[in-house]
Amino acid sequence: MFAGTARGGRAPDLDDSGYGRAPGGGVSIRRLVILIVLVLVSAACSRNEPPPPAQSPAPETTSSVGAQSPAGTSAGIPDPCTLLSDTDVTGLTGRDIIQVDRDGDATASTRYCQWQQSGGQLALFVTRTAPADFTTAWAGSPSLPGIGDDAYWRDCHLFVLVGTIQLDVYASGGDDQQNQAESEQVAEALLPKVRGFS
């Protein structure tokens, strides 16, 4: 049984809204996969070798982009793999692409694309957020002025607010300073492409 499990064997809700729970009360598999990917990417931040690739995504669905997300807001989140061409990724990072891992779920509340590269990787996570929630999340992290509506760097990830869209850019292949500079370049290239979705 999991630590923190309530009496009766049921894990406690994550919060009062039920966000993060699948329709029977369990944690959704998709959220667990995204969490695992984020943990692996964060753990690999200080390593010189690239972290392992993300788990294989669920097969693509035919649901419309405007379907309701688990948070109850319209997803309408762009597919991160279409925001940058292979030429863009190679030009911004200076590394050849070996493999592209796509999430394939147009109705997800968080979309991702991960470019596995020779000597590193680039990962992009896109989600909806409220500006107040974004500000609360980065409390205690240094703000990076001039990138989007707001931005901060934490745990080797660059988080950028563009209207109601949050970009999470992770680049690896150099030292921390190089990775941050690369993440900032990628974010700057993405800004005009995501403004229309915010």
Residues 171 and 182: their CA atoms lie apart, in Å, by 7
pLDDT at 73: 35
Spell out the per-residue pLDDT of the chain, length 198, in tens. 444 444 444 444 444 444 444 455 555 666 555 656 555 545 455 444 434 333 333 333 333 333 333 333 345 889 999 999 999 999 999 999 999 999 878 888 999 999 999 999 999 999 999 999 999 988 888 889 999 999 999 999 999 999 999 999 999 999 999 999 999 999 999 999 999 887
Cβ-proximal residues to 42 (8 Å cutoff; 6+ apart), any chain: 155, 156, 157
Residues 186 and 89: their CA atoms lie apart, in Å, by 8
Tokens describing residue 137: 């999340």
Nearest CA-CA partner of 92 in 125, 115, 126: 115
pLDDT at 29: 66
Q: What's the one-letter identity of residue 41?
A: V
pLDDT at 104: 79
Residues 146 and 152: their CA atoms lie apart, in Å, by 11
pLDDT at 7: 46
Residues composing the chain: 198
pLDDT at 2: 44
Cβ neighbours of 3 (radius 10 Å) = 5
Write the burial class of residue 142 (CB in 10 Å: 0-12 exposed, 13-18 middle, 19+ buried): exposed
Vertex 30: Cα angle to 116 and 189 (nearest 5): 45
Nearest CA-CA partner of 164 in 138, 120, 194, 192: 194
CATH numeric code, 25-59+79-197: 3.40.1000
Parse the chain into domains and list their residue ranges.
25-59+79-197
pTM of the model: 0.65
